[in-house]
Amino acid sequence: MNFSEFSFWWVLALTSIPFFTVRYLGKVFDWWRDRFDTVGLAALSLLLFLNASSTSFAVFLFEILFNYFMVSLMLRREAEGNKKQAKLIATAVIIFDVVVLAYFKYLTFFIEDFIGLAVPVPANWESGFPLPVFQTIPPGVSFYTFQMVAFVVDSYTARRKKPIKLLDYINFVSFFPQIVAGPIERRSQLLPQIQDFKFRFTAENFDIGMRWLSLGMFMKFVLGDNIAPYITAGMGETSNPWLIWFYAFLFTLRIYFDFGGYSFMAVGIARIVGVKLILNFLAPYTSQSINEFWRRWHVSLSTWFRDYVFIPLMGKRKKWAAFFLFITFTLSGFWHGAAWNFMIWGAYHGALLLLLRYAGRPFSRVTNKFVRKPQIVSWALTFGSVILGCLFFMELDIERLMAKLQTIATPWAYSPARFVEAIATFNTPDGLVLGVALALAIIFLAMEHIAVWQERPEYDLFISGWMPKVLLVLTVLLAANIPSEFIYFEF
């Protein structure tokens, strides 16, 4: 769901106010039943998703029904002792889900960029293609597909394999705060909270939910959205290495504040209705190694690829772990988008992890010997590596990406004159707005570092005491006039 669009809140109000009015009266006159809450949540989630995208909703509804009945059939076959059939059904469902995702997300890339490497592809090939060709990706298809695939696997491997109610499954995969952009929830964590769901409006849930909602809104609307326009304006820069690095740095900040903000808003909204979602981010820019970064960044996706791609690929072949790790990260890059730059980004992070694995300890011994505070060096190298990776991530034009890489790899390009030119670029009234946003962003990241250094929960300083009220006031005062699209809706 796009929390930055007025239509989301308008539809939420139009459906929630009458529903909860009837619910209140029903409880007063003692005719309300708990199962009505389950129906109400499903209806609310589906209506909000329909409002977000009718195309994605149609695909989603078909996949819900197909996956539910096939998983139910799988569980029945296993209960009858026919494990081979159960495994075959599970495999078929997973293949079906992945094929649906590939059709919507990768069809154009496969034909134009992959097949196009071998044979010429006509410019108007879409008109002769037997199926509709979508120019944009239906919102949420990557996230709910991965959640459905994980559910199939977890249902197959679960020790206690009880039948699941259709309504519970609908609520599990369509829970409105997280359906479009995660976190990708697991069966063991979310399903017990969703089964026979009841709204739990308590003072504690409301207080905690509003704290996370305030944090997410501040990150998205104040930090992410105020930085976003400058990145768009600077995408064409290929000659000034100072500006190339600076725009990549801005993108590094924006993608975290934007996606992290969405995730924390989802956590807050879910908590208000009584559901606890996992934290998808754990202060990733405090990491002192790439390995630690991937334990803190997009946690639900990282663990998904670990559990459902890396471990099954590797199996018992642990000697080949490094190779399968590289393949897994390359695939995770491809998940982010149907373009070569995303595959390069995934391969880049896979290569960094291999470099850390084989050269990390010797490097640490050297830095520990000659540097007083080696953890600062480790953090700086990690953050710099992430910024360089974000250059791959943000630049869809491969030719322009290569030009940027050539520029930043040219030592004599870093001249004082180019530096002065870069500074002059932001010597405008708009540059003042960026300066304020950057100052707030740096303070924000510094508070994350303090929390980690004090061994507190990563966001404890932001959701404790009076800080949520301060963040809410700052959001009202400093939110960008024109909110940008949530960046992960594109993936």
- Give the catalytic positions in this structure: 336
DSSP category for residue 275: -
Instruction: Kindly provide the b/e burial profile for residues 89-128, where b requires at least 16 CB atoms within 10 angstroms of the residue's own CB.
Output: bbeebbebbeebbebbbbbbbeeeeeeeeeeeeeeeebee
Tokens 């400058």 sit on residue: 230
Spell out the residues 6+ positions from residue 271 whose beta carbon is closer than 8 angstroms to its own: 205, 208, 209, 212, 277
Query: In this structure, what token pair is assigned to residue 463?
Result: 């959701």
Tokens 């290495």 sit on residue: 241
CB 279 within 8 A of CB 267: yes
The C-alpha atoms of residue 226 and residue 437 are separated, in whole angstroms, by: 6
The C-alpha atoms of residue 440 and residue 434 are separated, in whole angstroms, by: 10
Neighbours of 252 (CB within 10 A): 23
Alpha-helical (H) ranges within 195-320 are 203-217, 225-233, 241-272, 290-296, 299-305, 311-314
The C-alpha atoms of residue 338 and residue 107 are separated, in whole angstroms, by: 9
> What residue type is 327 in one-letter code?
I
Task: For residue 83, give the 3-state DSSP assignment.
Answer: helix
